[in-house]
Amino acid sequence: MMIAQSLPVARRYGIAVVTVALFLGLAATTDGFLSQANFRNILDQQSALLIAASFATITMISGGFDISAASVYVVSPLFALQVENSTGNAALAVAVGVAVGLAVGVGNGLVVTVLKVNSFIATLATSFMVFGAGFLVSDRSVLRASTDAWPSIARTRWWGITTGAWLAAAVVAVAWILLSRTRFGRHVYAVGGNAEAARLAGVPVARVKTICFALAGASAGLAGVVSSSRSLSALPSDDFSFVFGVIAAVVVGGTSIAGGEGAVWRTIAGAFFIALMINGFNLHQIDPIWQRVIQGAVILAAVSIDAWSQRRAL
């Protein structure tokens, strides 16, 4: 019993422990790591990913797998910038960008719950549609911001930290509270852990799932807006890489792909683990090609250790 009660603590917070260890290791060995500028930079770079990943975590806990985040991330700023260019109203443009994501998310949710299509397949299909819409709305060209308000969305500094990072912190806080403190959060865990038991306990299973996809879509839309505000432009593409970063953060954090288990704090830890690792590579000037190989190996190791510890924890 002693063992059974003390070890799980280390196991439960394993990813946080590893991330802190990595931080300390880099701080001790790497020049230039322990500087305010470096941390600000990391925070700013992670803002878009954190915004999308915190709600992707909730979707994954509910048993859904949403890969349309990449397409929404690419396309929502295209819609937003078209609005910004024609109206000059940045607030309206942000709203449109988020609304595009919300609409895609609701669509995903309905396809998954009403048509009962596997969520990976459903969101893969919608991804192509959304990527295509991006090319249509932008006429296959780069869109640039026309107002000063657009870059100020994510690039304004409050106490030295960019508004993009503040925005990410706010979104993370909302997702965290939603998942851990509210009825909706409990329902998400129940739906992902045992949908039939949830249904018989009066949980509106289809509604919960749909809301998860809708929120994930909206957050991916906001992530796209933040990213384009940082870069002052948006480019149509069919690049899936954003969602792989999101999923890597969620999974390295220890949220179960099978659903029913996980937490927002885990995703934050996972995201920073990966970010610190890349930062360390860069500061040590490791060849980017080798960075990828090592990064993949480290992710694999992290996930294996997590799977092993969770199995043992039973």
Partner 1 sequence: MTRAEALVGVRNVSKRFGATRALKDVTVDFEAGRVHALVGENGAGKSTLCGVVLGVHAPDSGELLLRGSPMRLDSPAQGAGHGLVGVAQELSLLPAMSVVDNVVLGSEKRRGPFVDQRANRRRVEALMAEHGLETPLEARAGSLSVADQQKVEILRALGRESRLVVLDEPTARLAGHEAEDLHRTVRGLAERGVAVVYVSHFLNEVLSVADTVTVMRDGRIVRTASADAETQESLVEGMTGRHIGEIFPPKPPAPVTDAEVVLRVSGLCSADGDFSDVSFEIRAGEILGLAGLVGAGRSELVHAVYGAGRVASGSVELGGRRLAGDVAEALAAGVGLIPESRRDQGLVGRRAVLDNTTLPHLRSFAGWAGIRGTAERQSAEKACRDVGVRTASLQQPVQSLSGGNQQKVLFARAVLGELRLLLADEPTRGVDVGSKQAIYEALNEMARAGCAVLLVSSELEEVIGTCHRVLVMRNGRIVGHYEDADMTAANLLAASFGTHDAAAEAGGAAGGVEAGDAAGADEAGAGGVGGVVGGVAAAGAGAAGGVEAGDAAAAAEPGAGGVAGGVGSGGADGADEPGAGVAGGVGVEVDGPGAGSANSAGGAATAAGAGAGVAGGVGVEVDGPGAAAGAVEVSSP
Task: Count the alpha carbons within 13 Å of 92 in the hemisphere toward its beta carbon.
Answer: 9
DSSP-based three-state secondary structure for 143: strand
Minimum CB separation from partner 1 for residue 236, in Å?
Answer: 40
In contact, 233 and 144? CB cutoff 8 Å: yes
Minimum CB separation from partner 1 for residue 185, in Å?
Answer: 8
Minimum CB separation from partner 1 for residue 261, in Å?
Answer: 6
Minimum CB separation from partner 1 for residue 2, in Å?
Answer: 7
Minimum CB separation from partner 1 for residue 314, in Å?
Answer: 7
Residues that bind partner 1 in the complex, under the rule CB under 8 A? 1-4, 177, 181-183, 185-187, 189-190, 193-194, 196-204, 260-261, 314
In contact, 277 and 295? CB cutoff 8 Å: yes
172 or 226: CB nearest partner 1: 172
Q: Single out the residue of 295, 194, 257, 310 nearest to residue 56, CA to CA.
A: 257
Element (H, E) at 134: helix 119-138
Question: What b-and-e string marks burial along 36-72, b requiring 16 or more CB atoms within 10 Å of the CB?
Answer: eebeeebbbbbbbbbbbbbbbbbbbbbbbbbbbbbbb
